[in-house]
Structure 1
Amino acid sequence: MRTTFHHTTTNIKLFKEQLLLWAQQFDDVVWLDSNNYEQNYSNYDAVLAVDAFTSLKTDYTQAFEHLKEYQTITNDWIFGYLTYDLKNAVENLISQNFDGLEFPDLYFFQPKKLFFFKGNQVEMQYLKMVDDEFESDLKDILKMELECHPERSRRVSNDIKIKLRIHKDAYFEKINNMLAHIHRGDMYEANFCQEFYAEDTTINPLETYLKLNGISNPPFATFLKYQDKYLLSASPERYLKKQGNTIISQPIKGTAKRSKNAEEDKQLKQDLLDNEKERSENIMIVDLVRNDLSKTAIKGSVEVEELCKIYSFDQVHQMISTVKSKVETATNPVDIIKSTFPMGSMTGAPKISAMKIIEALEETKRGLYSGAVGYFTPTGDFDFNVVIRSILYNETKKYVSYSVGGAITAKSDPLKEYEECLVKAKAMRQVLED
Structure 2
Amino acid sequence: MNEYGSRREPFFFMFDFALEKPLVIPAERIHENEILFMFNGRGNASDIVPENDVEISFRRSPVRFEQYSEAFKYVICQIRAGNSFLVNLSAPTAIATNASLDALFRLSTARYKLRFRNEFVCFSPEIFVQIQGNRIASFPMKGTIDASLPDAATRILADPKEAAEHATIVDLIRNDISQIADKVWVERYRYLEEVKTQRGSLLQVSSEIAGLLPGNWPDRLGDLFLKLLPAGSISGAPKPKTLEIIRTAEWYDRGYYTGVAGYFDGRNLDSGVLIRFIEQQENGLVFKSGGGITAQSDVYAEYQELIDKVYLPIPHRESVTT
Q: TM-score, normalised by structure 1?
A: 0.63
**Cα deviation, residue 225, structure 1:** 3.0
Confirm or deny: 8 A CA contact 2:58 2:318 kept in the other structure: no
The equivalent residue for 2:173 is 289
The equivalent residue for 1:222 is 113
Equivalent of 1:108, from 19, 24, 28? 24
CA offset digits 1:116-161 (Å, max 9, x no partner) = 99xxxx9999xxxxxxxxxxxxxxx9xx99447xxx99x99xx987
Confirm or deny: 8 A CA contact 2:71 2:249 kept in the other structure: yes
1:410 lines up with 2:295 in the alignment: yes
Percent identity reads 25
Q: Which runs of structure 2 are paired with 1:29-428 in the superposition (5 Å)?
A: 67-72=1-6, 75-86=8-19, 105-112=21-28, 146-147=50-51, 162-164=60-62, 166-197=63-94, 203-211=99-107, 213=108, 217-218=109-110, 220-226=111-117, 228-233=118-123, 235-259=124-148, 264=149, 267-298=151-182, 301-314=183-196, 315-331=201-217, 332-379=220-267, 381-393=268-280, 397=282, 399-427=284-312
Note closer, same or farther for the CA distance 1:399–1:72 as it changes in structure 2 (3 Å cut). farther
- SS state of the match for residue 228, structure 2? coil
Please give the alpha-carbon distance, in whole angstroms, between the structure 2 residues aligned to 1:244 and 1:357: 37
| Count of equivalent residues | 304
Note closer, same or farther for the CA distance 1:428–1:418 as it changes in structure 2 (3 Å cut). farther
State the one-letter code of the partner of 2:187: E
Q: 1 or 2 for the larger relative contact order (CA 8 Å, sep ≥6)?
A: 2
Please give the alpha-carbon distance, in whole angstroms, between the structure 2 residues aligned to 1:421 and 1:304: 28
Note closer, same or farther for the CA distance 1:221–1:328 as it changes in structure 2 (3 Å cut). closer
Structure 2 gaps of 5+ residues are: 31-35
State the one-letter code of the partner of 2:260: A
**Cα deviation, residue 69, structure 1:** 3.5
Larger Cα Rg: Structure 1 or Structure 2? 1
Confirm or deny: 8 A CA contact 2:105 2:115 kept in the other structure: no
Note closer, same or farther for the CA distance 1:116–1:341 as it changes in structure 2 (3 Å cut). closer
Note closer, same or farther for the CA distance 1:305–1:146 as it changes in structure 2 (3 Å cut). closer
CA offset digits 1:252-273 (Å, max 9, x no partner) = 11111121xxxx55x1111111
CA offset digits 1:81-129 (Å, max 9, x no partner) = 211111x6xxxxxxxxxxxxxxxx1223223399999xxxx9999xxxx
CA offset digits 1:216-263 (Å, max 9, x no partner) = x43x2303233x333231x1110011111111000011111121xxxx
Please give the alpha-carbon distance, in whole angstroms, between the structure 2 residues aligned to 1:336 and 1:249: 13
State the one-letter code of the partner of 1:253: K
Confirm or deny: 8 A CA contact 1:202 1:398 kept in the other structure: no
- Flag the structure with higher strand content: 2
C-alpha RMSD over aligned residues: 3.4
CA offset digits 1:163-185 (Å, max 9, x no partner) = 54x42112112111111111110
